[in-house]
Structure 1
């Protein structure tokens, strides 16, 4: 195997012509490619290596493993191959770049956005962990934005593909990017808890504008291994701080039992706090710490002149810690006699302060003008694409009134068996507050309940609903996409717009309905399919929800977005 750094723009790899370079990573270069026959576009990841014949089978095995991953928040591997001894992967093209591009260094995010980001990334990683796969390089650069602004985890196993293909003997496990690497990963023992640690580092960074551990490569490693977490800013709830401390425990056994449990803990803590985090911006404001952070230990045994956030993979760990790590301990309590004297002194001072404050209040009360009324500032208007609501089926089962044909599998997944004649429509507990919004969901259609096709079958998204009337958009029993009116929960032909469409079954598609006043627009997988304008648009936004009549469907990622 030999590395290469050649620009392949204009060259052909398999059935794709490489149009231009999109980006470069630690192991590969990514190009925008176009299929020579279909004219469709994809991202082509060309690994920086030339494979020897004995390594080709290792590459194929690793590529086949990650190609089997199918999740709404994981970039799909469409194809792979070897072109003139150079391995490459063909992946779904994410047109809006990475989270690092969208949120540059120094950016602080609103708490609601952080919770939604963590939920999507954790869902993807939990799916992978259930397949006994570990990502090993979770960071903002490896989280892409899909065509509907959903988060897509990329570079799954790319480091290990490169490493496995690099050598015929067993690969080392030291892979990752320094600021996001867990202690056990630095020691060459990565596991699912390592991905949880990396996601918690990202969460800390979104809250504060910077990762917790900074410095040279050796200093960052030493801090991951021994330094306590620097204090977070005032105003964060203790639940959020506790969740981060647990997910960033030095010992992986002390973290949450799963990355999904970490995401749920953050979600629950956010619902118990009234914190209003400032809107994301490029420059982070001055943060008042709860306590000054202790100076991090500096390890000088390793010297590194390369950038800190370079992904790497090496046969030997760049930092070898002592076999027994002593974690920071709290200082011992003061002796009892001194402590008793201190308490007595504090009590006396407190009594004097209370008496003085009472006298001062009486004097001021007789001469002070009436108190001023403080008016709270108007909340900032949501930006287009901001998530206004995200469904959590299991936790919100009562609010959604999930029953009958509907079943909450977990917080992220809802299913409909299509068996009920009386619960076609399932209404969300959230009601839009403006006339312009979008409702989006990932829906997989598995077929009609009635396999003979005698029953009318349809499913989709409901908007502007009131007392069973409203608008619906989706897919119906005669293989048509539709937008139409809804009366008493059932479809009617008022304002009917339809289009023939051969919908692929057993595959998740993105359904999106945009409401812009009287205009209703229906998108499927990012492509606008239908549009109607209501003659008598309702005066209020109404209710939103899902419908399923005799259709077996699975729903994930139901959310409301600002337009």
Structure 2
């Protein structure tokens, strides 16, 4: 008995078909064909499985979710608070500062500066700081909270100026409190900065600057004493924020940055 084989190629593999060479043995053909069906079926199953399995080099599509919107902090949330026990390394402090327990104290030099080691991430925020005037040996002492202008944002300056000695002065001579936009020529015409007489004495006072968009508000012990607005930018600078003092011995208490 002789058989002749023919191979046909298809996209799933090779299938061997057996044909009968002699018509005299036709009755034996079905048994031979049935015996060869098992490997043929296995070959077909494996070929289908390989075709259905994704290639290892084909990247699996992933679903990218939308970027979550940052949750706004509740008003009054403390974002940063000073800790003098860690020293002043992070504060870029000038000469003339010393740590006394939980407070700082300046000497009588000018331009004694501290830079808050925190930058608010929102354009609406508050800076709160406690100050006590220990001694003013000569007229002209001052302290202020400043934020320099930045790209597309005006700065601001919250001043306590012209601190006076304890001697008698003219009736119209007083320390002053005010907040202004920097540069000053960007001040909004219909919101001229308010300059008020202010005599702080030797008590502790709480000073606060609120920044709301283009507006800056200055508070002393919870009372608003001055305001200013920019006519050029929709938001004010977020820093660096500095405390600058001079010509007076001051105690500086906790400094905090809060959400607004």
Please give the TM-score of this superposition, normalised by the length of structure 2: 0.61
Structure with higher Rg: it is 2
Contact 1:465 1:543 in 2 (8 A): no
Counterpart of 2:3? none
The whole-number CA distance in structure 1 between the counterparts of 2:138 and 2:95 is: 22
Deviation at 1:426, TM superposition (A): 2.2
The whole-number CA distance in structure 1 between the counterparts of 2:149 and 2:98 is: 22
The whole-number CA distance in structure 2 between the counterparts of 1:560 and 1:396 is: 19
Counterpart of 2:253? 556
Counterpart of 2:37? none
Contact 1:445 1:552 in 2 (8 A): yes
Deviation at 1:371, TM superposition (A): 4.9
Distance 1:547 1:540, change over 3 A: closer
Distance 1:372 1:443, change over 3 A: same
Q: Which runs of structure 2 are paired with 1:285-364 in the superposition (5 Å)? A: none
The whole-number CA distance in structure 2 between the counterparts of 1:405 and 1:465 is: 26
Contact 1:465 1:544 in 2 (8 A): no
Q: Moved runs in structure 1, 4+ residues, more than 6 A?
A: none
Counterpart of 1:435? 123
Counterpart of 1:239? none
Of residues 201, 210, 222, the one that matches 1:514 is 210
Counterpart of 2:108? 418
SS of alignment partner, residue 255 of structure 2: strand
Distance 1:534 1:503, change over 3 A: same
Of residues 44, 51, 74, the one that matches 1:383 is 74
Counterpart of 2:146? 462
Structure 2: 5+ residue stretches without partners: 1-52, 163-173
Structure 1: 5+ residue stretches without partners: 1-362
Q: Which runs of structure 2 are paired with 1:137-536 in the superposition (5 Å)? A: 366=56, 369-373=60-64, 377-395=68-86, 397-410=88-101, 412-419=102-109, 421=110, 423-448=111-136, 451-453=137-139, 456-465=140-149, 470-477=155-162, 478-485=174-181, 496-505=193-202, 507-536=203-232
Deviation at 1:376, TM superposition (A): 6.3
Contact 1:474 1:511 in 2 (8 A): no
Deviation at 1:497, TM superposition (A): 2.9
Please give the TM-score of this superposition, normalised by the length of structure 1: 0.30
- Structure that is richer in strand per residue: 2
Deviation at 1:374, TM superposition (A): 6.2
SS of alignment partner, residue 536 of structure 1: coil
Distance 1:503 1:430, change over 3 A: same
**1:410-433 CA deviation, whole Å, 9 max, x = no partner?**
5x42222231x3x34322121122
SS of alignment partner, residue 385 of structure 1: coil
Let me know the Cα RMSD of the aligned residues.
3.2
- Matched residue count: 188
Deviation at 1:551, TM superposition (A): 2.2
The whole-number CA distance in structure 2 between the counterparts of 1:546 and 1:517 is: 21
SS of alignment partner, residue 497 of structure 1: coil
Contact 2:215 2:236 in 1 (8 A): no
- Structure that is richer in helix per residue: 1
**1:282-331 CA deviation, whole Å, 9 max, x = no partner?**
xxxxxxxxxxxxxxxxxxxxxxxxxxxxxxxxxxxxxxxxxxxxxxxxxx
